[in-house]
Structure 1
């Protein structure tokens, strides 16, 4: 039970205030189960596999397959927790709202603060990766590339990453037009990207050589662990499904279903891609190389046609991730704004488009800055550690809500409870442990800033009323 004085908002109040069981706050229920799964796939499959695969291979070698499995296991246990909480508390706040209902307002604000890393900073990382494949596509089709000064961050041979800024502004433009249009675009792009990755596998397997997988783990257990920490980035985004709680038809059923289906599809796809990639080309030639999938296809076919197709798929895939992740960030900020913990501008919904227009443009402009000038590896590590911290807390939330509200309606229940959420915490902490110490220092500083913001800005403005507070022993 929450300790005395803990500022907890009950699940019933969260649902009532959000309008999760009706048309609430101007948001409309337009997303069906297929579109929701496509939204989940759209949020996940992108920079992590198209761009980050080479960095993961550099750490683990052919054992990157095990790294992906470890990252997937972490996500599966946490996906169970998200599925249960998403069905029980179907609101747009995702892990922020789940924490508010179980661990209290201070913890909820810090989780919302960390969500700026998972959604906001990660959208910057994804946008950076988009520019790499855009240049590959331009080179293969018209023989021209964006000059390095306008395509890379300072310190990496560039001045400003213009493509990253462009894709963020394009995504914002689509999002403010309406959820229905965004969902349709995301669904189309998800189908395209899956098709492109399956095509990659078909091409890569034609050049498969078992000898390329030996030695299997050249960097040992440490390399597999470090690779798993990087591979985890490839799975970030499945929880974005839960941010659509107020715009999904029958959310108590469809949110848990979409989360589990999405994780299953993505895990199988990633394992297949990693086996095909490392069977087709020695891992030493893949590790650390930009646009690695195109490189492998060129090697397998002896031409640039295949890599052009892969580049098209990557440009589409990564753009869809920008769209889905930016959507999630705006809905998190909307929920926090409703509670008074963020400025009121983030909760305003346009009566014409039923979308948070100002919110969306603020997110696009703010996160275009790190996308334009920060190197990918720096952005990537901070995104991973923030997301893993959130996932550890979500698993704790399941246990806390089972204890505090055992009778709450749950369409889905975590299997093997309480073992599964405990393992979810353990795997999350294990992957966090594999990150560089500097990332830990940066993350600690980030949390301190968040705590100060809560103490001096958010708590005095909180709209948590007496009827929304539960003080239990």
Structure 2
């Protein structure tokens, strides 16, 4: 562990608590409010606010574990690095392999939602993109589409910002998040007077977990929490900025926990207002743009344009933080020899992992442009929940194995806190459908092939052990030779 912490970083330290908080809010608030509240309301009814709270509690317990690890091991890599320290390289590789997919898949998924809002905004201004270039092939029923051009271009633009430096990334994110928060607060202030408490009855029409007659899709608070958990994915990406953070022992835990707390409060207020203005079955009419549907119900057309801007900025910051976290995890894995050195090469001028950032940025942009990946967002959830379980278990292990290690922040109530985090994660995983489990197992198996065919033989840890063994063997050989000569 000491070797990992002590290693010098070529990255530039400029991030403070304020920047990390906005980075976390930028990752969390976006798709959850502007897209997933529609499907969530149909799944849980007005009790969607409880689903958000359940997902937030799960993230909160996991966030305490992340905060302790971030203060103890302030280096890039997030859950990958924490698993590396606690459980060794094979578990770390699988978590890193998992998170690389999850971050890219989430960014590509969000780019599809961003494209929809962008096309609507242009239509309102009298500008029109050919419908064939507004979505991936087969995405829109009854409409022939081939390529999601807006989604492709926004991912490339974000990749460019990420590649030219952390200062540019930080400033871009800070501005967009502040505007997004202002738009959300404006929505709350303007729409709250249209709430009708009768729309909250029944508050929990499907209970905690149930099935509709003839359906295999679970309904209720827990399945909805499993869906909206996607909204909170990204707060953990804050910890991937450790090597670009000033005084990470203190600022990282603060950034993680403050951003999670602010986002949770806003999510609960928003869902209560939205289900109070529109009865939950009506969200089926505008499932892909629930906020727009709520505004339509109020008749405030002027607010729709402003909220559209907020939605675009919200989803832009989500993609920015996801691609940022992905590039830093790849940087850490490359440094450890788990993936080729190409992905961890730092640009001498921009001081960023330039090549790796562009490689995965291009792949994400192409995936968002060509592939109908909206059905795969639950794969993002199961992968992230698995990472949370590993990090939480790692806290218990490190408290027992290395109680003397310096911790700038200590998660309260250990081992109770990480155990509760693990239980909540397992409950949310249980709310996902079986197809998600199959896809996850296939990706996991592919990762094992990559590990044993490349990572195991190129691992810096194994190479160091081999060099030490060779040195020891050579020393013994020299000693034996000198003893033979003396005889």
TM-score by length of 1: 0.93
- In 1: Cα distance, 2:456 partner to 2:17 partner: 37
Quote how far apart the aligned CAs of 1:48 are: 2.0
1:208-223 to 2 correspondences below 5 Å: 208-222=195-209, 223=220
- Secondary structure class of the residue paired with 1:64: helix
What is the Cα deviation at residue 307 of structure 1? 0.9
Q: Does 1:457 align with 2:454?
A: yes
The correspondence of residues 241-260 of structure 1 with structure 2, limited to 5 A, is 241-260=238-257
Which of 409, 429, 441 is 1:412 aligned to?
409
Which of 313, 316, 321 pairs up with 1:319? Answer: 316
More displaced 10-residue stretch of structure 1: 289-298 or 401-410: 289-298
Output the CA distance in 1 between the equivalents of 2:116 and 2:130: 12
User: What does 1:384-423 align with in structure 2 at a 5 Å threshold?
Assistant: 384-423=381-420
Match of 2:233 in 1: 236
Instruction: Verify the 8 A CA contact 1:31 1:249 in the aligned structure 2.
Output: yes
1:330-345 equivalences under 5 Å are 330-345=327-342
> How far is the alpha carbon of 1:468 from its aligned partner?
11
More moved, 363-372 vs 456-465:
363-372
Match of residue 164, structure 2, among 177, 182, 185: 177
In the alignment, which residue of structure 1 is the partner of 2:118? 134
2:5 is aligned to 15
**CA displacement at 1:15 relative to structure 2:** 0.9
Query: In structure 2, which of residues 290, 293, 303 is the aligned counterpart of residue 292 of structure 1?
Result: 290
Maintained 8 Å contact 2:100/2:330: no
Secondary structure, in 3 states, of the residue corresponding to 2:208? helix
Q: Which residue of 1 aligns with 2:92?
A: 108
Determine if contact 1:245/1:255 at 8 Å carries over to the other structure.
yes
Q: 2:79 & 2:99 partners in 1: Cα distance?
A: 8
Paired position in structure 2 for 1:350: 347
- More deviation in 388-397 or 212-221? 212-221
Equivalents in 2 of 1:392, 1:268: separation in Å? Answer: 24
Per-residue deviation, 1:47 = 1.4
Query: Which one of 186, 190, 198 corresponds to residue 199 of structure 1?
Result: 186
C-alpha displacement at 1:155, in angstroms?
2.3
TM-superposition CA deviations, 1:233-262 (whole Å, max 9, x none): 110100111000000000111001111111
Bigger drift between 74-83 and 205-214 goes to 205-214
When the two chains are superposed, the root-mean-square deviation of aligned CA atoms in Å is 1.5
Equivalent position of 1:36 in the other structure: 20
Shift of 1:355: 1.2
1:440 is matched with 437
Give me the whole-angstrom Cα distance separating, in 2, the residues matched to 1:133 and 1:467. Answer: 54
TM-score by length of structure 2 reads 0.90
More displaced 10-residue stretch of structure 1: 118-127 or 458-467: 458-467
Displacement, 1:67?
0.6
Deviates further, 281-290 or 114-123: 281-290
Per-residue CA deviations over 1:30-53 (Å, capped at 9, x if unaligned) read 111111111111111111221111
Report which of the two structures shows the higher radius of gyration computed on alpha carbons: 2
Look up the SS of the partner of 1:245 in the other structure.
helix
CA offset at residue 370 of structure 1? 2.3
Counterpart for residue 166 of structure 1: 153
Task: Note the C-alpha offset of 1:143.
Answer: 3.3
Contact 1:119 1:329 in 2 (8 A): yes
Task: Map Cα deviations across residues 307-346 of structure 1 (whole Å, 9 max, x no partner).
Answer: 1111000111111111111111000000000011111111
Q: Does 1:427 align with 2:424?
A: yes
Cα pair 1:168 1:368 within 8 Å, conserved: yes
Alignment partners' CA distance in 1, 2:332 and 2:32: 28
Gaps of 5+ in 2: 210-219, 469-487
Do the aligned residues in 2 keep the contact of 1:124 with 1:379 (CA within 8 Å)? no
Which residue of 2 is the match for residue 153 of structure 1? 136
Deviation at 1:212, TM superposition (A): 0.8
Q: How many residues end up aligned between the 2 structures?
A: 451
Distance 1:229 1:468, change over 3 A: farther
CA displacement at 1:303 relative to structure 2: 4.0
- Report SS of the residue matched to 2:243: coil
Is residue 136–residue 308 contact of structure 1 (8 Å, CA) maintained in 2?
Answer: no
- 1:225, distance to aligned residue in structure 2 (A): 1.0
Structure 1 range deviating more: 93-102 or 122-131: 122-131
